[in-house]
Amino acid sequence: MPDSSLRNQYLEAHDLHAFVDRHRQRLHDPETAFYVSQALEECAVTRDISDNEDFSIDERRASREITAQCRGFEGRTIEPAAILEMLVYAARWGEPHATARMLLLRDVAAPKEDVLPQLPWMLTSREASIVRDVGAFLSRGEAQWRYGDEQVPTAVAAIAWELAACDLDRSCDPWSRFALAQCALLGRCSAWRYEDAVALFEPPELMAEAQRLRVGILRAIREHDWEWLGLV
């Protein structure tokens, strides 16, 4: 029997407009509010460059794919305020994905110590999007972050958390919407692994350090070693 969880419905949707319409009447449910907000956010930033020869063949192909998955929104304005309202609502009710996403909207100058105690329970889920958002949050506004006994440049750590997130989920598959969006919007394209696409844009020594740190991050999440991650 196929897994019909809301998360999988969202990840596997080929028509995000239909996904939003199907769940629009259940926005009182925090999980539904989160995934509808993410579907709307994806389509709000989608741009069709499929006919623009200033971009590579891979970028145009990726754009064509994600534009097709947002069919139905053409000519309609997706209000950022509506997306944020759903995200805030879901986070207020403790939806973990929304709570992790809201970390990225905090004032970059606000002390991280205020929210560090919340992070272990979110990371325990080992959800790729949560791991990616927590890693991005820890790397914002800092020059370094402590991992074990080592102070690591956050430029390295940010990449390591992205790679760790990809290891935990199929969302970095070349045909996933995440990978397609990274290709179309940022030019990070690879026919094999998202990791290969990142490596095209990063210095080899930085990439090597990120790959090494990624192993430690995955171990710490698996073993709940929050102290090693600098969360305690």
pLDDT digits (tens, 9 = 90+) for 85-94: 999 999 999 9
Residue from 227, 188, 195 nearest 210 by CA: 195
pLDDT at 112 over 50: yes
- Of the CA atoms within 13 Å of residue 229, those in its CB half-sphere come to 28
* pLDDT number for residue 68: 94
Q: Taking a C-beta distance cutoff of 8 angstroms, is the pair 17, 67 a contact? A: no
Rounded distance, CA 1 to CA 185, Å? Answer: 36
Q: Report, as an integer, the average pLDDT of 11-18.
A: 93
Residue from 166, 88, 93, 181 nearest 127 by CA: 166
- Percent of all residues in the chain with a pLDDT value above 90, rounded to a whole number: 76
**What single-letter amino acid sits at 191?**
A
**What single-letter amino acid sits at 41?**
E
Q: Report, as an integer, the average pLDDT of 116-131.
A: 95
* pLDDT number for residue 1: 34
Q: Taking a C-beta distance cutoff of 8 angstroms, is the pair 117, 127 a contact? A: no
Q: Which residue has the higher pLDDT, 10 or 175?
A: 10
pTM here? Answer: 0.90
Give the SS3 label for residue 179: helix
Tokens 């990809």 belong to which residue? Answer: 166
Torsion 100-84-162-175 (CA) sign: positive
Rounded distance, CA 69 to CA 189, Å? Answer: 18
Tokens 């905090």 belong to which residue? Answer: 106
Q: Taking a C-beta distance cutoff of 8 angstroms, is the pair 42, 176 a contact? A: no
pLDDT at 98 over 70: yes
Give the SS3 label for residue 189: coil
Rounded distance, CA 200 to CA 41, Å? Answer: 27
Q: Which residue has the higher pLDDT, 75 or 116?
A: 116
